[in-house]
């Protein structure tokens, strides 16, 4: 995500999963989901980033900063 900016992938770490649960009200597991569920959640996260016109890496960093302080 950070080394190849033109690739559209999301890193669904615990911070992003928590953000999706808390802010987007999308049910997510507390740890890395299986491949099928990961792809489904990744698509939803990418759709959200597009809807708020945010770069995936920048949004990921903002979420990490916000949730690492809690």
pLDDT computed for residue 70 by the predictor: 64
pLDDT of residue 39: 96
Taking the domains of the chain in order of start, what are their residue ranges? 14-68
Mean pLDDT score, 21-39 = 94
Give the residue from 65, 55, 29 showing the smallest Cα distance to 12.
29
pLDDT digits (tens, 9 = 90+) for 33-52: 999 999 999 999 999 999 99
Q: Give the number of other CB atoms < 10 A from CB of residue 15.
A: 19
Confidence of residue 31 (pLDDT cuts 50, 70, 90): confident
pTM: predicted TM-score of the whole model, two decimal places: 0.87
């Amino acid at each position: 995500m950070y080394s190849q900016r033109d690739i559209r992938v999301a890193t669904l770490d615990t911070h992003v999963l928590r953000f999706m649960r808390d802010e987007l009200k999308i049910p997510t597991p507390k740890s890395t989901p299986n491949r099928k569920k990961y792809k489904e959640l990744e698509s939803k996260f990418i759709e959200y980033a597009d809807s708020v016109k945010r770069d995936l890496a920048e949004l990921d960093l903002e979420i990490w900063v916000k949730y690492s302080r809690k």
